C-alpha cells in the first residue's frame, strides 16, 4: 500500500475499520455487478444413449458405447440433429444412426432404413406414436428441408425428437442386428475363395478389440455393398468392397488400421467414379475424419 495513502487513513482504529469495511463492500458489489452483466449461454445438453436390452453376441454396456460413438458420428452430439435434413440430400435422416426416410413418391438409389427401424422398435416394445406408425407407410413427414425447418417447433417434430432420444438404446440394438445379419448377405452367391477371404477378414476385425464398433458403424454408414443402386460405374462402396480391398493382417489394432485404410481407398474410388455434378469430393474430408475413429479409440467397444 503506498505511503501517501497510509497518511490519509484515520488514526482512530474504529474509523479505520469502518473505512476498510466500506471499501471491501464496494469492491464486492462491483464484482457482483460485473458477473450479472455477463450473459451465460447454456449449451444444448447432449444425450447419452440408453442401455440396450440384452442381445446375443454382445454385452449391453459394449453395445451402449458403440451406440454412443455412432450417435456422435452422425449428429455431432446435438439432440436436435436426431431429426435432420442435410441440404445436399433429397431425404431426411433421423435417429442415432441417421436412418434414411424417403419423401412420398421419391425414387432414390439408397437403402431406406427409417421405416424398418421404427417397425423394429415397435416389435421390441417401444411405445411408437400412432401417427408415426401410419406416416412410415406414406413417406417422410416433410416435403423438403425447407418444410422441415418451417415445422421445426411443431408438436410432431418435438415429439419425434423426444421419442428418438428415449429409444436410443433400442436403436443401437437395431444397428447391431443389422451387422449380425450382414455377413451371409455379403458372401451370398460369391465363389468359394471370395467367400472365405471376406469371412476371414470380417472375423479378424470383429475379434479385434474395438473392431465391432467399426463394423457396426460402417454398415450403417455405407451399407453392406450388395445393392446395385448403390454403385458408381458398377462399383460399390459398402462393407463387401472394404473387406475385399483390405490387406490380410492379424487381429489387433493393425486390423483396425487395415480396415480403415481399405475403407479410405474404397470411398476415394467412389468419389472418382461419381458423376461430376454430384461433387462428392466435398464429403471425403469428413469421411476420413470418421475413419480415423476406427483405430484411434478406447478399446472398450
111, 202: one domain: no
Considering the domain boundaries, does residue 245 fall inside one? Answer: yes
Considering the domain boundaries, does residue 201 fall inside one? Answer: yes
166, 195: one domain: no
Spatial distance between the Cα atoms of 81 and 96, rounded to a whole number of angstroms: 9
Domain boundary at 178, 210, 234, which? 178
Predicted confidence at residue 128, as pLDDT, reads 98
45, 169: one domain: yes
141, 203: one domain: no
Entry pTM: 0.82
149, 257: one domain: no
Are the beta carbons of 294 and 301 closer than 8 angstroms? no
- SS3 category, 105: coil
172, 248: one domain: no
Angle (CA) 99-43-75 rounded to 5° is 15
49, 166: one domain: yes
Residue with cell 413417406: 139
Considering the domain boundaries, does residue 73 fall inside one? Answer: yes
Considering the domain boundaries, does residue 32 fall inside one? Answer: no
Spatial distance between the Cα atoms of 235 and 219, rounded to a whole number of angstroms: 16
213, 201: one domain: yes
Residues near 100 by beta carbon (within 8 Å), at least 6 away in sequence: 91, 92, 93, 110, 111, 112, 113, 114
- SS3 category, 101: coil
Predicted confidence at residue 301, as pLDDT, reads 54
172, 215: one domain: no
**Full residue range of the structural domain in which residue 174 is found:** 38-178
Domain boundary at 178, 211, 233, which? 178
Q: Tell me the pLDDT tens digit for each residue of 214-251.
A: 999 999 999 999 998 899 999 999 999 999 999 999 99
156, 43: one domain: yes
CA neighbor of 117 nearest in space, from 57, 155, 160: 160
In order of 90, 96, 199, the CA distances from 143 in angstroms are 9, 22, 41
Considering the domain boundaries, does residue 148 fall inside one? Answer: yes
Domain boundary at 178, 201, 234, which? 178
Number of domains comprising the chain:
2
Considering the domain boundaries, does residue 23 fall inside one? Answer: no
Predicted confidence at residue 298, as pLDDT, reads 57
47, 151: one domain: yes
List the chain residues with pLDDT less than 70: 1-45, 298-301
Spatial distance between the Cα atoms of 208 and 256, rounded to a whole number of angstroms: 8
174, 189: one domain: no
Predicted confidence at residue 245, as pLDDT, reads 98
Amino acid at each position: 500500500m503506498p505511503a501517501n495513502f497510509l497518511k490519509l487513513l484515520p488514526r482512530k482504529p474504529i474509523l479505520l475499520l469502518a473505512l476498510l469495511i466500506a471499501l471491501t463492500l464496494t469492491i464486492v458489489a462491483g464484482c457482483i455487478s460485473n458477473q450479472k452483466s455477463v450473459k451465460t449461454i447454456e449449451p444444448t445438453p447432449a444425450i447419452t444413449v440408453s442401455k440396450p436390452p440384452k442381445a446375443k453376441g454382445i454385452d449391453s454396456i459394449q453395445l451402449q458405447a458403440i451406440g454412443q460413438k455412432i450417435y456422435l458420428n452422425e449428429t455431432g452430439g446435438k439432440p436436435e440433429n436426431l431429426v435432420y435434413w442435410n441440404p445436399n440430400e433429397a431425404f431426411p435422416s433421423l435417429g442415432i444412426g441417421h436412418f434414411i426416410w424417403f419423401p412420398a413418391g421419391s425414387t432414390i438409389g439408397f437403402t431406406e432404413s427409417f421405416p424398418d427401424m421404427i417397425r423394429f422398435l415397435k416389435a421390441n416394445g417401444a411405445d411408437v406414436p400412432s401417427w408415426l406408425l401410419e406416416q412410415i407407410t406414406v413417406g417422410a413427414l416433410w416435403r423438403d428441408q425447407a418444410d422441415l425447418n418451417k415445422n421445426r417447433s411443431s408438436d410432431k417434430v418435438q415429439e419425434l425428437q423426444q421419442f428418438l432420444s428415449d429409444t436410443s438404446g433400442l436403436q443401437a440394438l437395431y444397428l447391431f442386428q443389422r451387422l449380425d445379419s450382414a455377413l451371409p448377405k455379403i458372401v451370398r452367391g460369391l465363389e468359394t475363395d471370395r467367400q472365405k477371404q471376406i469371412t476371414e477378414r470380417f472375423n479378424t476385425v470383429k475379434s479385434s478389440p474395438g473392431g465391432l464398433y467399426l463394423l457396426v458403424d460402417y454398415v450403417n454408414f455405407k451399407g453392406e455393398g450388395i445393392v446395385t443402386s448403390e454403385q458408381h460405374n458398377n462399383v460399390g462402396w459398402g462393407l463387401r468392397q472394404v473387406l475385399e480391398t483390405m490387406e490380410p493382417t492379424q487381429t489387433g489394432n493393425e486390423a483396425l488400421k487395415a480396415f480403415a485404410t481399405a475403407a479410405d481407398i474404397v470411398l476415394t474410388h467412389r468419389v472418382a467414379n461419381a458423376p461430376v455434378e454430384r461433387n462428392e469430393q466435398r464429403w471425403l474430408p469428413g469421411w476420413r475424419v470418421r475413419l480415423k475413429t476406427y483405430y484411434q479409440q478406447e478399446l472398450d467397444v
